[in-house]
Amino acid sequence: MKNKAVNFCPLHKRKSIKKGKQSSIVLIIALLSFLASINSAPAQQVLDKIVAVVGNEMIMHSDVIGQIAFLVQQDPKINPDDKEIFDAVLNDMINQKLIVAKAFEDSIEVSDEEITQRWEYHIANLAKHYGSTKRIEDVYGMSLSRLQAEYYDDLKKQIMVEKIRQQEFGNLKASPKEVEDYYKEFISELPEVPEKIEIYHLVKNVGTGEDIKKSAYELGMRIKDSILNGGDFADFAKRYSKDPGTAAYGGDLGWIEKGKFIKEFEQAAFTLQIGKISDPVETPFGYHIIRTVNKNKDSLHSQHILLKFGPSDADIDTVKSILNALKREFEKTGDFEALAKQHSDEKETKGFGGLIGKLPLAYIPKNFLDALNSISDGEITEPVAYNSEPKLSYHIIYKKRTIPAHKADLKEDYLDLEQFATLNKQEKMFLQWIEKLRADIYWEIKD
């Protein structure tokens, strides 16, 4: 039970907030995200105190200040000294911890693979922000592998929150009448819809030839043999490893708890005797030569050398030839959707004839947009590369039509409006759910 009343009203619903503060509405969604937590990590040390307790977890004053600092980075108009902002952020953090507590209570499961995928996504974003993975390590004073271990629990909880919200509200959808009502209520507040392109794509993944994988494996075995014959593991890691987070440190991963490695890596590393070196172990990232430095029942200290293998020029040329043949087929038949349903490798869009949707120009990857700008409506691009580590794919993109910027229209923009109306409906239900959690789970704001 909550034992201290509070005027709960999240920032994005607080109508008394000035217009300048409302511009940061969308940022609140990211409050407890990995990026917020990791960006607040190197914050200046201050005298700390407990500002709230949720279940058996505490929220420190520095935690709230760190979240506010992250918001200010995104929107300098936010006043970090505004008590209303502090209270709104604190309440949002309480909500997140209540949701996490409920997720643990409901035994929401998160796999290692899900955490690894989320980590890769966030590191890619951080690398764009800082310019390189090396710069990330310099800022936080540790290797990427240590950072991954440090923020493992944050990532897990973030995914748990998303899963339980999906479980509770994922099936809620606005009815046609609710969409129409939403449109009528907010029509004067809806911004102009930016220029969009309605696009479809057909995807072919580029596989790695067995000869390339064989060469990488053989290199790994030669490295292992050299180390066994007196070579220094750390020196070979610095020379050969393609892991930017550990190569400079001799491949040292430090102590990491069980369950935080990729499954194939962990199984091999825990099987090895202390001081022993593995044959190359294949994971989605390549081959790893692993040395177990020390271990106990629950954790492991290891080094590794990562040997990446990618497609050859011949592998790429084969895929591009297939796509060019399909492009010629489209020019004969004009039926792109049928071709995508039959030939695309992307299961998420294949069943919809390759439909991506009506995308604002800002949401389209630059190389895709450049290709689309070179063709007219109703035409198809040349094969365009898309590199999403560790996969490389090529796409041919169908530019069905260009939609000029316009005022939101119920018919033309129905899917967008349906999404907004659904989010509005889910938000209302979410706030009711949060109030129930606040009644059922102990929490307290400290003086």
Report the pLDDT averaged over residues 69-81: 88
Note the pTM of the prediction, 2 decimals: 0.54
Report the pLDDT averaged over residues 312-340: 94
Per-residue pLDDT at 220: 95
Answer yes or no: do 346 and 221 share one domain.
Answer: no
Res. 3 pLDDT band, cuts 50 70 90: very low
**In-domain check, residue 261:** yes
Answer yes or no: do 348 and 249 share one domain.
Answer: no
Mean pLDDT over the full length of the chain: 86
Q: What is the pLDDT of residues 266-305, one digit of tens each?
A: 999 999 999 999 999 998 889 999 999 999 888 889 999 9
* Cα distance between residue 207 and residue 224, in whole Å: 27
Judged by average pLDDT, the poorest of 68-72, 135-139, 168-172, 425-429 is: 135-139
Per-residue pLDDT at 188: 92
Q: What percent of the chain has pLDDT over 90?
A: 64
Q: Which domain holds residue 323?
A: 194-208+312-403
Report the pLDDT averaged over residues 59-75: 90
* Cα distance between residue 322 and residue 395, in whole Å: 11
* Cα distance between residue 253 and residue 245, in whole Å: 9
Per-residue pLDDT at 47: 65
Q: Are strands 299-307 and 252-257 parallel, antiparallel or unpaired?
A: antiparallel
Place of tokens 């590191």: 123
Per-residue pLDDT at 28: 35
Per-residue pLDDT at 303: 95
Report the pLDDT averaged over residues 66-85: 90
Q: What is the pLDDT of residues 327-360, one digit of tens each?
A: 999 999 999 999 999 999 999 999 999 999 999 9
Answer yes or no: do 331 and 399 share one domain.
Answer: yes
Contact 327, 333 (CB under 8 A): no
Q: What is the pLDDT of residues 220-232, one digit of tens each?
A: 999 999 999 999 9
**In-domain check, residue 1:** no
φ, ψ dihedrals at 266, nearest 5°: -60, -40
Judged by average pLDDT, the poorest of 13-17, 174-178, 395-399, 443-447 is: 13-17
Q: What is the CATH number of the domain that holds 356?
A: 3.10.50.40
Give 221's contacts (C-beta < 8 A, 6+ positions apart).
Answer: 279, 280
**In-domain check, residue 98:** yes
Q: What is the CATH number of the domain that holds 123?
A: 1.10.4030.10
Per-residue pLDDT at 420: 93
Q: Does the N-terminal peptide bond of residue 390 adopt cis geometry, omega within 30 degrees of 0? A: yes
| DSSP tag of 398 | E
- Helix, strand, or coil here: 432? helix
CA angle 39, 42, 46 (to 5 degrees): 115
Answer yes or no: do 431 and 364 share one domain.
Answer: no
Judged by average pLDDT, the poorest of 113-117, 235-239, 377-381 is: 113-117
**In-domain check, residue 298:** yes
Domain count along the chain = 3
| DSSP tag of 345 | S
Tokens describing residue 95 = 């909500």
| DSSP tag of 1 | -
Strand partners, 54: 57, 443
**In-domain check, residue 165:** yes
Contact 122, 130 (CB under 8 A): no
Answer yes or no: do 17 and 162 share one domain.
Answer: yes
Per-residue pLDDT at 7: 33
* Cα distance between residue 166 and residue 99, in whole Å: 12
What is the Cα 204 distance to its own chain's centre? 23
* Cα distance between residue 428 and residue 424, in whole Å: 6
Answer yes or no: do 49 and 69 share one domain.
Answer: yes
Which of 1-5, 128-132, 282-286 has the highest mean predicted lDDT (pLDDT)?
Answer: 282-286
